Structure 1
Amino acid sequence: MLGVLFQVKFQGNGASPFEKHDAIISSFVIVLSIYVGTIILGKKFEMKTIEPIRLLSGAMAPILLLLILVPIFGWLLLVLWMFFAATMGWDYLQQLYQKLFCEASDRPPNLPEEGSQELPV
């Protein structure tokens, strides 16, 4: 759907979107390649650990197109995407900490409770 709107927006203009928005289009191609690559790797090797990368890159691709079509809405979604990515990254780091340090040493995790301001020891 966004591809059709994208073509309509640049139909009458003499400038190509690659000329006007080179960085955004290049980022879109990279993000789309990462998304397709994670799908292929996930199916071929049955890897569940790359699903957050697939989710984040899949959400980023249409946001980058919206940055070109409707810049204000695109920037708003980009800020929300960055907040969501930071939240997912924090949760993933906590899980990684628990897996690497707690399961490896066979001791119970010493993670802080929800809402606590303590850092894990």
Structure 2
Amino acid sequence: MSLGLALALVPLAAGCGGQQQQRTAQNLCSQYKQLVAKADQVRSLDVRTATAEAIQSRADAALAKLDQLQAVTEGRYDTLISTLRTAITDVRQAAVEAGSGSTGTSNKQLQDTLQSLNEAFATLKQRLDTECTAA
């Protein structure tokens, strides 16, 4: 390959890389928006009236969206995603225990796990809101 041809191909290769980065950012933001919708469904639960099955179902849906988000983040948010995954799993487990336990203690545990979920979600949301606004 001649030097001239190689130099002519450099801008084309760079342009392809930029397009790939743009598609990756769009996919990340699309997955993030879907996660927000599912996480909001969990976060908005009223622990006094929601059934254990409803909580588990919403938590499972949020976990599935979280997995899809993590698949496109290229490792950049793994720690924040892991923290959020743990919080969602804790909400799900508290719902299981609430379904078979005394309601006073169970509701308090659910409220505590939802508070942890809100905190974990807020941290990830802050980072991804910034990235997706800039994209």
TM-score for both structures, normalised by structure 1: 0.42
Work out which of the two has the higher radius of gyration on C-alpha atoms and give 1 or 2: 2
Q: Name the one with the larger helix percent.
A: 2
Q: Higher RCO, 1 or 2 (CA under 8 Å, sep at least 6)?
A: 2
